[in-house]
A and B are shown apart, each in its own frame.
Chain A
């Protein structure tokens, strides 16, 4: 994660929002996804029941995680896969590298995996001389630009087609100035087809791992996971240990929710179930902890482990839409990312739970009903208690509390404020109002307070 921005969210967001038309465009692009999600959800009369079931299945899976993982391992092994366990990112990267090294692999194609992004796998392998090609179109675009995805489902949502056209003209030799998405996609198809044909191994993420059958299930629209695994003789599937669901039957619930929540589609184009390796090839499954087992022991945050990475909470979040995924500085941004990140490093990510209006829209759209805004609020309390709050903010709050604690101080403060608003220039007042005043007109100060008026009309306070 070292390649991500080290700016704190407020500063990074301010930088993003400084380009007003672009912020507006980003906001609308994501809102469009939210609208599509709403339309898709409305077409399923039992939508809310499905969400409740999804929540319940995940709660059951988390409660029985150790047993389910063992069951999964047993069944996956019986189907011919090899299961590996990694405590952290470093161990995960080592395992993957050793598997590739043992087979003499120098060219690897990947389909989308937020986990390998979290572990920093690409730079790890590249430093050891491998060519690593992300094959999801959006991921290939950001890989070309040497930047992380800005959204877990739409990695290049922050870019305009003209910028991608410019990038492709440099990297793929497309016509200069061309920005037609169809033309650019076609160019990427040709380029990546060659990568698929020459790859010696394919790596995928995992959307769901089925305890009762030992299968891993991978969902894509482009077909890149199927391309990447059906040609070379080695498939490595990397999964966070929370991806377990107990039964194949449970997928009925999750697959009905996932794509509708993510993009408004009824289902992803390819939902591929891998039961062991295909003939003549090997399947290795790497199960990664990297902080997850610790999170399982933390109330109320353990529920965040139910996330199925649909991205809906990002698309609806008024802060995400106006600050962009990169401003969060973590692999999984947005509301869910702001819950997950402080659990890994409270000091580094202390600003994230504050990057929310607590409007609760995220929790309303979340297909597994994670109470995201409650968790963000809980984090604020925990972070401040642990000394990670912003000093300015806690001083201001302590000062406010001191004023509110005494009627005399409160009355005096009101008087001073009304006086200041009348005599001081508006520009100075806005500065005093801090961030709140930056994009707002301050109200006109009333001549007298309610208390003064009551005293005048009723004779006493």
Chain B
């Protein structure tokens, strides 16, 4: 604890108080059609968006996609969407998820400006379900689209919330070799957002 005290003492000595607390107003993206913008934004980050009227339609749309048709191991955390081949909640060790072809996960919130979808950790038995599968499908309601990240954080109310959560925008990617964009670095090779409503 000597380190802690020493660091805090040095900081107290050197910090220059007086900077006003900024007020985050006057910012916020505006879009006439949130769903249309969301589709565009998901495309821009390398994903695809499929608009469906309800969950049964989401299920049908997903089953028609090659990522589902060709999948041998599927986990679904969205009841009624995708043909889960096992119950992910019964998996004890996340290492057992290696070899997973498709995860179908609930999205809590969608951000129209950048195409990101919030995945709430408390609703998933394993964090690895987000990154370990070959493909990811996110199911999110039209009503849960917000224009931008300011609105997203206002709704998320992270304070005091346990566990983890993340914004996922498109599939995993890298451009570390001569800046050529390659999709599928470590995580999902493709991402489909099923927008319901």
Contact = CB atoms under 8 A, between A and B. Distances in A.
Task: Say whether chain B's binding surface is mostly helix, strand, loop, or mixed.
Answer: loop
A311 to B, nearest CB: 13
Interface in A140-191: 141, 154-157, 159-161, 164, 181-182, 184-186, 189
Contacts of A297: 10, 13-14
B19 interface: yes
Interface stretch (A84-92, A343-351, A378-386, A419-427): A84-92
A133 interface: no
Given A50-B27, A137-B185, A223 B162 contact: no
Contacts of B188: 223
Interface stretch (B56-64, B67-75, B80-88, B111-119): B111-119
Contacts of B176: 136-138, 141, 154-156, 185
Contacts of A185: 174, 176-177, 182, 184-185
B27 A253 contact: yes
B84 to A, nearest CB: 20
B90 interface: no
A65 B17 CA distance: 9
Contacts of A273: 158, 164-166
A56 B27 contact: no
B158 to A, nearest CB: 4
A46 interface: yes
B149 A275 contact: no
Interface string A253-291: 101100000010111111111111011000000010100
A222 interface: yes
Interface residues of A, number: 93
Interface stretch (A210-218, A436-444, A451-459): A210-218
Given A49-B26, A252-B153, A184 B164 contact: no
The contact size tier of chain B is 35 or more
Contacts of B111: 267
Interface stretch (B1-9, B102-110, B137-145): B1-9
A46 B26 CA distance: 9
A60 interface: yes
A268 B156 CA distance: 19
A229 interface: yes
Interface in B1-51: 1, 3-4, 6-8, 10-22, 24, 26-29, 41, 44-45
Contacts of B44: 266
Interface stretch (A12-20, A243-251, A318-326, A406-414): A243-251
Contacts, number: 259
A248 B159 contact: yes
Given A69-B11, A266-B115, A46 B27 contact: yes
Interface string B119-162: 00100001110111000000000000000111111101011111
B8 A69 contact: yes
B178 A222 contact: no
A221 B176 CA distance: 11
Contact of B15 (A49, A66, A161): A66
Interface string A219-243: 0011110110111000000000100
A80 B169 CA distance: 28
A294 B14 contact: yes
Contacts of A294: 10, 14
A230 B15 contact: no
Contacts of A265: 45, 169
Contact of B153 (A86, A164, A222, A249): A249
B185 to A, nearest CB: 4
Given A85-B3, A230-B94, A231-B128, A70 B14 contact: no
A323 B180 CA distance: 22
B22 A53 contact: yes
A189 B176 CA distance: 13
Contacts of B24: 53, 249-250, 252-253
A112 to B, nearest CB: 11
Given A189-B185, A275-B164, A293 B174 contact: no
B107 to A, nearest CB: 14
Interface centre among B98, B156, B174 (most CB of A within 10 A): B174
Interface stretch (A119-127, A192-200, A327-335): A192-200
Contacts of A447: none
A69 B8 CA distance: 8
A49 to B, nearest CB: 6
A132 B173 CA distance: 23
A226 B131 contact: yes
A70 B150 CA distance: 26
A227 B186 contact: yes
A252 B25 CA distance: 12
Interface string A95-128: 0000000000000000000000000000000000
Those 3 A-B pairs whose CB atoms lie nearest each other, nearest first:
A223-B187, A297-B14, A138-B176
Given A249-B150, A297-B14, 11 more contacts: A60-B21, A193-B186, A213-B159, A226-B130, A226-B131, A231-B132, A267-B149, A273-B158, A275-B165, A276-B163, A278-B163
11 contacts: A69-B8, A136-B176, A159-B178, A181-B180, A186-B184, A213-B161, A227-B186, A267-B149, A275-B163, A278-B163, A302-B14
Interface of A: 29, 32-33, 44, 46, 49-50, 53, 56-57, 59-60, 62-66, 69-70, 79-80, 85-87, 91, 135-138, 141, 154-157, 159-161, 164, 181-182, 184-186, 189, 192-193, 196-197, 210, 212-213, 215, 221-224, 226-227, 229-231, 241, 246, 248-253, 255-256, 263, 265-276, 278-279, 287, 289, 293-294, 296-297, 302
